């Protein structure tokens, strides 16, 4: 089933499930990149730095406590009501697959081999991939490439990224090869320039659920404002901020899930 009428939407809204969010103020990293809230303490709980590649779901530590829809129903984001001191865009992502343990002091290809994704299918259409920082190396920046399989199943595609070695908690977007619209998997990553320190970095594949403007007095956004984004069963929902200021201020509020 799905919501197909205004009445159906109203019925779903009346039975919304609220997901609380609270994250303490944090630095927002680098201009032109996302600040990942994945590893930040608060609500939801801080997860560990990943090592081997794993697929994630709504039971993963760090995910918003999203409950799957009952049989035959579909879940949607029905309302977002978040505030923080810094004005800016916050993205709600479904975190599909991640891994860590990549090092910055090497220009050799490093194995990534992301775990197979499953939501809403195994193809990776409309997914985005990021190099995500967990532990800083020394200061400096570089570029790099990944070898990946696209959403059509073609392997040995090449994605490119710009990267800052001090990018702990930052997500640097991997630009797919011409004509590609998603990442099914990422196999290897190669930094163009090496850093003196190893640091700890990983590759994360996500699908954006929605972007929302958030500020100190931002209004709630309802289902028609948000265009009723679907949340697939098992979704590992987490937040990331487009850098807008040096610090975010405390982020607090809630995300309502509606079912129908």
Nearest to 137 by CA among 160, 163, 171: 163
Q: Does 244 bind another protein (CB under 8 A)?
A: yes
Q: Does 31 bind another protein (CB under 8 A)?
A: yes
Nearer of residues 108 and 224 to another protein, judged by Cβ: 224
Stretch that binds another protein, among 15-23, 35-43, 50-58, 172-180 (CB under 8 A): 172-180
Q: Does 131 bind another protein (CB under 8 A)?
A: no
Tell me which residues in 9-28 interact with another protein (CB under 8 A).
9
Q: Does 154 bind another protein (CB under 8 A)?
A: no
Nearer of residues 75 and 99 to another protein, judged by Cβ: 75
Q: Does 128 bind another protein (CB under 8 A)?
A: yes
Stretch that binds another protein, among 48-56, 64-72, 101-109, 217-225 (CB under 8 A): 217-225
Answer whether 71's CB lies under 8 Å from 23's CB. no
Q: Does 122 bind another protein (CB under 8 A)?
A: no
Instruction: In whole angstroms, give the CA distance from residue 73 to residue 71.
Output: 6
> Where are the strands (E) in 127-199, listed by range?
128-135, 141-150, 157-164, 170-174, 183-191
Q: Does 246 bind another protein (CB under 8 A)?
A: no
What is the DSSP secondary structure assignment for residue 86, as one 8-state letter?
Answer: S
**Cβ neighbours of 70 (radius 10 Å):** 9
Stretch that binds another protein, among 2-10, 54-62, 106-114, 131-139 (CB under 8 A): 2-10
Q: Min. distance of Cβ 23 from another protein in angstroms?
A: 19
Peptide bond preceding 156: is omega within 30 degrees of 0, i.e. cis? no
Q: Does 220 bind another protein (CB under 8 A)?
A: no
Answer whether 50's CB lies under 8 Å from 31's CB. no
Nearer of residues 9 and 189 to another protein, judged by Cβ: 9
> Where are the strands (E) in the chain, listed by range?
17-23, 34-36, 54-55, 75-83, 88-98, 110-111, 128-135, 141-150, 157-164, 170-174, 183-191, 200-214, 230-231, 237-242, 251-259
Angstrom CA distances, 175 to 58, 71, 90, 208, stand at 27, 37, 20, 15
Single out the residue of 16, 56, 64, 228 in contact with another protein (rule: CB under 8 A): 228
Query: Which parts of this chain interact with another protein (CB under 8 A)?
Result: 2-6, 8-9, 31-32, 74, 76, 87-89, 126, 128, 173, 175-179, 181, 207-213, 215, 221, 223-230, 242-245, 260
């Amino acid at each position: 089933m799905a919501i197909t009428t205004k009445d159906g939407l109203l019925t779903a809204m009346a039975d919304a499930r609220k997901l609380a969010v609270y994250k303490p103020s944090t630095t927002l990293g680098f201009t032109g990149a996302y600040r990942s809230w994945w590893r930040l303490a608060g609500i939801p709980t801080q997860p560990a730095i990943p090592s081997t590649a794993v697929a994630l779901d709504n039971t993963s530590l760090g995910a918003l406590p999203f409950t799957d829809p009952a049989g035959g129903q579909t879940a949607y984001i029905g309302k977002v009501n978040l505030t923080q001191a810094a004005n800016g865009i916050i993205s709600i992502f479904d975190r599909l697959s991640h891994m860590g343990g990549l090092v910055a002091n090497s220009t050799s290809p490093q194995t990534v081999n992301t775990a197979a994704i499953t939501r809403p299918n195994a193809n990776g259409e409309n997914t985005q991939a990021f190099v995500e920082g967990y532990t800083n190396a020394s200061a400096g920046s570089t570029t790099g490439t990944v070898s990946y399989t696209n959403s059509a199943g073609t392997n040995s595609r090449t994605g490119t990224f710009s990267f800052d070695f001090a990018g702990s908690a930052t997500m640097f977007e991997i630009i797919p090869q011409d004509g590609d619209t998603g990442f099914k998997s990422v196999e290897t990553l190669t930094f163009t320039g090496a850093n003196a320190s190893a640091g700890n970095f990983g590759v994360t594949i996500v699908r954006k659920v929605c972007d929302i403007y958030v500020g100190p007095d931002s209004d709630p956004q309802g289902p028609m404002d948000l265009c009723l984004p679907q949340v697939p069963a098992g979704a590992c929902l987490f937040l990331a901020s487009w850098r807008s200021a040096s610090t975010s201020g405390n982020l607090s509020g809630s995300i309502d899930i509606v079912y129908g």
